[in-house]
Amino acid sequence: MEKNNTKTQNLFVSEEEKTLNWDEIQNSFKKTFGNEVYTSWLQKITLVKEYNDYLILGVPTRFFRDWIVSRYLDKILEQVKSFKLSLNRIEFKIIEENRNNSNLVKIDEINKITEIKDSILNYNRLNSNLSFNNFIEGKSNEIALSYSKKVCEHISRYNPLYICGGVGLGKTHLLNAIGLELQDENNVMFISAERFMYHFIKSIKKNDMVNFKDFFRKSSVFIIDDIQFIRGKESLQEEFFHTFNSLMDKGSQIIISSDRTPMKLDRVQERIKSRLAGGLVVDIDSPDLELKIEIIKKKIEDIQNQFKESIKLSEEVINFIANESKTNIRELVGILNRIIAFSRVHNKDLTVTECKSILKDVFSQIKVITVDKIQNVVSNYFNISLNEMLSQRRSRPLARPRQIAMYLAKKMTTRSLPEIGRRFANRDHTTVIHAVKTITRLSEQDDEMKKSLSQIRSLLLEQ
Ligand code: ADP
Ligand code: MG
């Protein structure tokens, strides 16, 4: 525990507001996207407001926004993130331009027609690298794996199949593997919930629900990733529910993943939750050391086969990597890739000490955790509002998350106790000390607390 603390203290540099240089970012857009895309679209984006973890960008029209969101958003986010690490979201605001810009209107008209279909298809691609063949079985995932395979043998026997587990534990990999297995003989639809929602909203606004429904209802296997993002507005949930029901009625198999169980879904109607829970719910847990080591060995083998090169990592180094990744498999794979890349460049066998120094650089570059971010992630995790979490109310469902957020702020940022107290609605530093003590004690005694902390840490590190 002690060792871990000092590590995290060093790794997470606290960073608050920073101002972006928009011209510099525009230049980087030009380089990344190429001149054509840049001048037609990205050049017209303006920076409206900058927050610690998100940006509001200005665009001239609604259509312009939809176009950008459906094609370039991921890349834009990634790009801006390289200038501002704490960023995790971008929102768009429509800023009306003078209306005699007829050029733009023309582009709108031409592209409108193919747009819906293209952008849905863009996000419906299965990744052939994520199959059952290279999914390693361990204690933490054996049940999820076994039912994923069973679903492929007996379509709609377990319906829906709902796979839940923390970030980076293999949910998307399993969903993808199911899709690959079934795609030859079925009409497989694979989409993230966020994408699904996006098209949903767009179709409603364009009065095009008929096409939208048809498009999705054609599938005989409907796979939806990260369903926790389906939330909010009643009317949207209602539509989702209809699509879901009509697929079930016609015997289509539905497979769902989420970071939490159906009943813990945030702002989702009860009847949707119970329908989701009505099939089979399986859980993926954090990997044990044995599974981590096996995954490392398998990845090394894959790379050797694929690139016809020999990668020599000693047992000691492999053990080190397995121990180093505390939270999830995605992180494990990331660490392994860094080390392999390094050993390739230097063309030599690495020692554990060398690995340590490689990882030190990696971590100090990429992780920035702030008190704001912790408060947001924790309140989201427990389905309470930020206001409630910061309020003076003492009921346990609010007090516990508040204490956890204080505890993580102490452990994961460089902020002092009085500073943390101030950020929690001006509380005294003794309150923070009490919170840290309480959560430390509970994390040693209580498995549920241990699990929550580990999941929240993963969420924080993921962003
Ligand atoms: P999630 O969707 O749960 O966040 P992913 O499916 O994206 O996680 O998994 C993260 C990474 O870890 C991916 O590269 C995936 O291939 C790999 N991975 C996860 N579990 C396994 C496993 N059991 N065997 C091999 N690779 C795995
Ligand atoms: Mg995933």
Q: If you count DSSP H runs as helices and E runs as strands, how many of each does the chain have, helices first?
A: 22, 8
In a domain, 64, yes or no: yes
DSSP 385-417: -HHHHHSS---HHHHHHHHHHHHHHHHHS---H
In a domain, 3, yes or no: no
- Nearest bound ligand to CA 129? 1
Q: Which residues contact 20 (CB under 8 A, 6 or more apart)?
A: 47, 50, 55, 80, 83, 84
Q: Rounded mean pLDDT of the chain?
A: 82
- 221 and 343, same domain (yes or no): no
Q: Are residue 295 and residue 352 in the same domain, yes or no?
A: yes
Instruction: Collapse the DSSP code of 53 into the 3-class scheme (helix H, G, I; strand E, B; otherwise coil) and give the result.
Output: coil
Whether 296 is in the pocket of ligand 1, judged by its Cβ within 6 Å, is: no
Q: Does ligand 1 have an atom closer than 6 angstroms to the CB of 173?
A: yes
Quote the ligand 1 centre to 133 CA distance (angstroms).
13
Q: Which atom of ligand 1 lies closest to the CA of 176?
A: 6
| Edge-to-edge strands, sheet with 280-284 | 188-192, 221-225, 253-258, 161-165, 280-284
Question: Which ligand minimizes its atom distance to the CA of 462?
Answer: 1
Claim to verify: residue 410 and residue 432 sit in the same structural domain:
yes
433-463 pLDDT, tens digit per residue, is: 999 999 999 999 999 999 999 889 888 876 5
Residue 382 belongs to a domain: yes
Task: Give the total number of structural domains in the chain.
Answer: 4
Residue 200: helix, strand or coil by DSSP? helix
192-198 contacts, C-beta under 8 A, 24 or more apart? 192/123, 192/224, 192/225, 192/226, 192/229, 193/224, 193/225, 193/226, 193/227, 193/228, 193/229, 193/230, 194/226, 194/229, 195/120, 195/123, 196/224, 196/230, 196/240, 197/229, 197/230, 197/236, 198/69, 198/70
**What pLDDT was estimated at residue 449?**
93
Range of the domain at 392: 371-462
Convert the pLDDT of each residue in 15-50 to its tens digit: 334 478 898 899 999 888 877 778 777 888 999 888
Provide the CB-side half-sphere exposure for 303 (13 A, CA). 17
CATH number of the structural domain spanning residue 151:
3.40.50.300
- For residue 330 and ligand 1, the question of a CB distance below 6 A is answered with yes
Q: Ligand 1: which of 330, 336, 458 to mutate, judged by most atoms within 8 Å of the beta carbon? A: 330
On whether both 20 and 87 belong to a single domain, the answer is: yes
Ligand 2 (single-atom ion) residues, CB below 5 Å:
172
Asked whether residue 265 is domain-assigned, the answer is yes
> Is 137 inside any structural domain?
no
Indicate whether 267 and 341 sit together in one domain: no
How buried is residue 13: exposed, middle or buried, by Cβ count under 10 Å (0-12/13-18/19+)? Answer: middle
The answer to whether residue 182 is domain-embedded is yes
Indicate whether 226 and 271 sit together in one domain: yes
Q: What is the pLDDT of residues 105-139, one digit of tens each?
A: 333 333 333 344 445 554 557 888 899 999 999 99
In a shared domain, residues 437 and 315: no
pTM: 0.60
Composition of the chain by helix, strand, coil, percent to 5: 60, 10, 30
| Pair 245, 171 in one domain | yes
Among 320, 337, 359, residue at a domain's last position:
359
Residue 75 Cα to ligand 2 middle (Å): 18
Q: Is 325 in the pocket of ligand 1 (CB under 6 A)?
A: no
Domain assignment present for 121: no
**Does a structural domain hold residue 72?**
yes
Candidate of 143, 225, 292, 329 to mutate for ligand 1, largest count of ligand atoms within 8 Å of Cβ:
329
Rounded distance from Cα 370 to ligand 1 centre (Å): 27
Task: Please say which residue of 232, 262, 284 terminates a domain.
Answer: 284
For 254, the enclosing helix (H) or strand (E) is: strand 253-258
* Least-confidence region, from 236-245, 401-410, 414-423: 236-245
| Pocket of ligand 1 contains residue 171 by CB under 6 Å | yes
Q: Are residues 352 and 386 in the same domain?
A: no
Structure tokens at 458: 């993963």
Residues 276, 146, single domain; the answer is yes
* Location of structure tokens 């200005």: 58
pLDDT of residue 375: 95
Q: How much distance in Å is there from the Cα of 338 to the middle of ligand 1?
A: 17
Residue 391 has pLDDT above 60, yes or no: yes
